């Protein structure tokens, strides 16, 4: 069968979602469907370029429950960022659909805030004005309420002293903190993070791992986090989904049972990391091509 | 303060050198008048009101023409950046007409409008409009797409993205384009005033023209001096604050 043909799409955009989803026998999708915050149903995406077409995503299905921290790992070009963009509504899938809180995603919305690898802060605004940008788009807030909220989140990321600083005066780590505050301020239910720490130095990154875990627990967010750094994924995620590329699909899923807050340098984490890396390289024993979606409790392996 | 003193002494030195050159008699005083005679011309024309009158007339023409150029040029530039069809039509026209020295409009303008204020305005608008269009277009194209993406995830929609993201993000280009538009407007107005005598008011260019006709070089150089000073003042008053803002926010010289 031609891998690019549309006939591979199992569900078209308007077909009934949850029933079709439940028919797929994967453990993660059977778990508490009522709490599903984000549901990805049979999403495929094909990029057509001059040199040919590439299947960026092939029939991806996943469910992220309320308050979960889910990491997507894979080599560059495996389509994990594309999937995040589709969940954000910035890109449209060629087939399949995404549900956020049960509603189909058709466009970007403030309920699913996105953070990028580059901070994407606006240089014509200062720090607090950047944080206010998303708040100004929320109705029913007075001016002083907006300021209060913006200040609160700047305090949360530890940058209240830099409220009136210009963006170019901040270091890379500070920029990402402001971007985090900007994304959190409108109180989105879901936070989508596209390699937000990839451009930072190791020490700054470690600090941010601690911060993001704290904020996630305090603010009770659902986070979908894309990275190519396996250790980072194991450190942050409740679940780690491993992507293959050409075509992009989920080949493994790991549940990370470590207690939080987790230290990126801990030995336990290293054990998880090595297992995930083997999955990523395709050398993990019980991962085979015939079994596209498996789930392993790594907690048993690491001891 | 130190900088100011240095600058001041530089200009005093320049005037002294000029004075000495005239005193040495290298050139006929008809061709190169002494700085004091230029100063005395300026003083007397201020006293009898001709200079203020002419400056006022010129500035009014310039501001009205320039504002029209901005008001028309900005949306046109947004259109050419946004729509392929506008890029292939208006964009090409803008690019072509920008290369046309605006003094070339003068003959046509005279036939169309006659010796009227509208003729002046038309030349100024033609002088400034196209560079504003091109700068706006260029600015919008240089906005990193990630800004719009970030804004969209925050719930920003079409119109809001344009005025809250694309426009401010292209400010560095817009300001330099506005500055260039201003320079072109200023040049084209001077050209038009020198060529076209209009009975509804004499501008600086016309004073310059009469100075030549009367062979009074002190008037010619005096008016040139005024034109330069106005140019400097406008730069400081109109554009410096913007450039300072760009420098502060972007951390660059703001192109």
User: What length does chain A have?
Assistant: 303
pLDDT > 70 fraction of chain A, expressed in percent and rounded: 82
Q: Do B125 and B138 contact (CB within 8 A), yes or no?
A: no
DSSP letter (8 states) at residue A7 = G
Is the CB of A90 less than 8 angstroms away from the CB of B249?
no
Interface of A with B (CB under 8 A): 88-90, 107-110, 112-114, 116, 118, 120, 122-126, 133-134, 137-138, 166-169, 182, 186, 192
Asked if the model's pLDDT at residue A203 lies above 80, the reply is: yes
Residues B18 and B23: their CA atoms lie apart, in Å, by 9
Specify the pLDDT at position A284. 59
Q: Do A65 and A219 contact (CB within 8 A), yes or no?
A: no
Degrees, nearest 5: CA angle A72-A73-A77: 105
Picking from A123, A125, A176 by the largest number of B CB atoms within 10 A of its own CB, the best residue to mutate is A123
Asked if the model's pLDDT at residue A15 lies above 80, the reply is: no
What does the pLDDT look like over A86-106, one tens digit per residue? 998 898 888 888 888 888 888
Q: Do B217 and B30 contact (CB within 8 A), yes or no?
A: yes
Q: Do B146 and A120 contact (CB within 8 A), yes or no?
A: yes
Furthest C-alpha separation in chain A: 60
Is the CB of B155 less than 8 angstroms away from the CB of A110?
yes
Candidate from B155, B169, B249 with C-beta closest to A166 = B249
DSSP letter (8 states) at residue B40 = H
CA of A17 vs chain B CAs: smallest distance (Å): 24
State residue A164 phi and psi, 5-degree precision: -105, 15
What does the pLDDT look like over A121-140, one tens digit per residue? 999 999 999 999 988 888 88
Asked if the model's pLDDT at residue A71 lies above 80, the reply is: yes
Q: Domain residue spans in chain B?
A: 37-250
CA of A129 vs chain B CAs: smallest distance (Å): 12
Is the CB of A114 less than 8 angstroms away from the CB of B149?
yes
- For chain A, the average pLDDT equals 79
Asked if the model's pLDDT at residue A274 lies above 90, the reply is: no
Residue A231 has a CB neighbour count (10 Å cut-off) of 19
pLDDT band at B199 (very low <50, low <70, confident <90, very high): low
Question: Over the range A153-178, which residues count as b (16 or more CB within 10 Å of their CB) and which as e?
Answer: bbebbebbebbeebbeebeebbbbbb
Is B37-250 a domain of CATH 1.10.3720.10? Answer: yes
**Residues A82, A85, A91, A94: what is their CA dihedral angle, to the nearest 10 degrees?**
50
Q: Residue range A50-72: average pLDDT?
A: 86
ipTM: 0.77
Residues 6 or more apart whose Cβ sits within 8 Å of residue A303: none
Is the CB of A133 less than 8 angstroms away from the CB of B168?
no
Give the pair of three-digit tokens for residue A126.
């200062």
pLDDT band at A37 (very low <50, low <70, confident <90, very high): confident
> Which residues of chain B lie closer than 8 angstroms to A146, CB-CB?
none
CA of B243 vs chain A CAs: smallest distance (Å): 12
Q: Domain residue spans in chain A?
A: 6-111+188-302
Q: Residue range A262-270: average pLDDT?
A: 84
Is the CB of B250 less than 8 angstroms away from the CB of A114?
no
pLDDT band at B76 (very low <50, low <70, confident <90, very high): very high
Helix axes A127-136, A143-156, angle to 10 degrees: 120
Is the CB of B153 less than 8 angstroms away from the CB of A182?
no
Q: Which fold has domain A6-111+188-302?
A: Rossmann fold (3.40.50)
- For chain B, the average pLDDT equals 88
Interface of B with A (CB under 8 A): 144, 146-147, 149-156, 160, 164-165, 168-169, 171, 248-252
Specify the pLDDT at position A125. 93
Give the pair of three-digit tokens for residue A39.
């549901």
Asked if the model's pLDDT at residue B200 lies above 90, the reply is: no
Strands (E), chain A: 36-49, 52-65, 69-73, 95-100, 103-104, 112-115, 190-194, 222-227, 239-244, 249-255, 294-297
Is the CB of A90 less than 8 angstroms away from the CB of B151?
no
Is the CB of B251 less than 8 angstroms away from the CB of A168?
yes
Candidate from A116, A134, A192 with C-beta closest to B154 = A134
Specify the pLDDT at position B5. 92
Q: Do A86 and A98 contact (CB within 8 A), yes or no?
A: yes
Specify the pLDDT at position B254. 42
Is the CB of B169 less than 8 angstroms away from the CB of A122?
yes
CA of A117 vs chain B CAs: smallest distance (Å): 10
Give the pair of three-digit tokens for residue A123.
């240089």
CA dihedral sign, ordered A116, A122, A126, A129: negative
CA neighbor of B127 nearest in space, from B49, B42, B206, B186? B186
**For residue A90, what is the nearest residue in chain B, using CA coordinates?**
B149
What does the pLDDT look like over B4-56, one tens digit per residue? 999 999 999 999 998 888 888 877 877 888 888 889 999 998 898 888 888 99
Instruction: Report the 3 state secondary structure along B165-189.
Output: HHHHHCHHHHHHHHHHHHHHHHHHH
> Which residues of chain A lie closer than 8 angstroms to B151, CB-CB?
133
């Amino acid at each position: 069968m031609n891998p690019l043909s549309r006939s591979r799409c199992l569900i078209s955009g308007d077909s009934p979602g949850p029933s079709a989803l439940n028919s797929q026998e994967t453990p993660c999708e059977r778990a508490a469907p009522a709490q599903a915050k984000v549901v990805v149903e049979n999403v495929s995406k094909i990029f057509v370029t001059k040199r040919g077409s590439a299947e960026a995503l092939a029939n991806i299905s996943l469910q992220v429950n309320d308050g979960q921290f889910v990491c997507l790992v894979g080599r560059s070009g495996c389509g994990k960022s594309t999937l995040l963009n589709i969940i954000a509504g910035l890109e449209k899938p060629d087939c399949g659909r995404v549900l956020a809180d049960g509603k189909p995603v058709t466009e970007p919305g403030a309920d699913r805030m996105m953070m990028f690898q580059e901070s994407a802060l606006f240089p014509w605004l200062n720090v607090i004005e950047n944080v206010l940008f998303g708040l100004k788009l929320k109705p029913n807030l007075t001016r002083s309420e907006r300021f209060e909220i913006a200040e609160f989140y700047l305090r949360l990321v530890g940058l209240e002293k830099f409220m009136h600083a210009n963006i170019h005066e901040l270091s890379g780590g500070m920029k990402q903190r402001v971007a985090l505050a900007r994304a959190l301020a409108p109180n989105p239910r879901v936070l989508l993070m596209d390699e937000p720490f990839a451009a930072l130095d190791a020490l700054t990154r470690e600090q941010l791992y601690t911060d993001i875990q704290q904020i996630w627990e305090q603010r009770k967010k659902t986070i979908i986090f894309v990275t190519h750094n396996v250790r980072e994924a194991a450190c942050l995620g409740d679940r780690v989904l491993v992507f293959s590329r050409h075509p992009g699909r989920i080949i493994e899923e790991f549940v990370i049972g470590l207690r939080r807050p987790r230290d990126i340098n801990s030995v336990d984490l290293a054990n998880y990391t090595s297992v995930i890396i083997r999955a990523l390289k395709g050398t993990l024993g019980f991962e085979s091509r015939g079994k596209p979606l498996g789930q392993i409790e790594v907690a048993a392996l690491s001891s | 303060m130190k900088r100011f003193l240095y600058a001041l002494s530089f200009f005093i030195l320049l005037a002294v050198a000029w004075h000495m050159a005239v005193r040495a008699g290298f050139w006929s005083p008809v061709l190169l008048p002494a700085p004091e005679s230029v100063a005395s011309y300026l003083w007397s024309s201020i006293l009898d009101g001709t200079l203020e009158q002419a400056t006022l007339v010129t500035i009014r023409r310039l501001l009205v023409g320039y504002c029209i150029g901005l008001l028309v040029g900005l949306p046109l530039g947004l259109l050419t950046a946004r729509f392929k069809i506008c890029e292939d039509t208006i964009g090409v026209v803008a690019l072509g007409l920008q290369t046309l020295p605006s003094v070339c409009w003068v003959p046509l303008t005279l036939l169309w409008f006659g010796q009227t204020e509208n003729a002046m305005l038309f030349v100024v608008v033609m002088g400034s409009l196209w560079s504003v269009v091109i700068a706006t277009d260029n600015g919008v194209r240089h906005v990193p797409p990630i800004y719009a993406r970030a804004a969209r995830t925050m719930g920003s929609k079409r119109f809001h993205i344009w005025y809250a993201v694309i426009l401010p993000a292209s400010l560095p280009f817009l300001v330099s384009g506005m500055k260039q538009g201003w320079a072109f407007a200023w040049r084209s107005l001077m050209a038009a005033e020198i060529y076209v005598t209009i009975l509804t008011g004499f501008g600086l260019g016309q004073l310059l023209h009469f100075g030549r006709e009367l062979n009074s070089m002190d008037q010619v150089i005096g008016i040139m001096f005024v034109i330069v000073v106005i140019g400097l003042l406008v730069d400081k008053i109109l554009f410096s604050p913007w450039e300072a803002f760009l420098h502060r926010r972007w951390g660059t010289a703001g192109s």
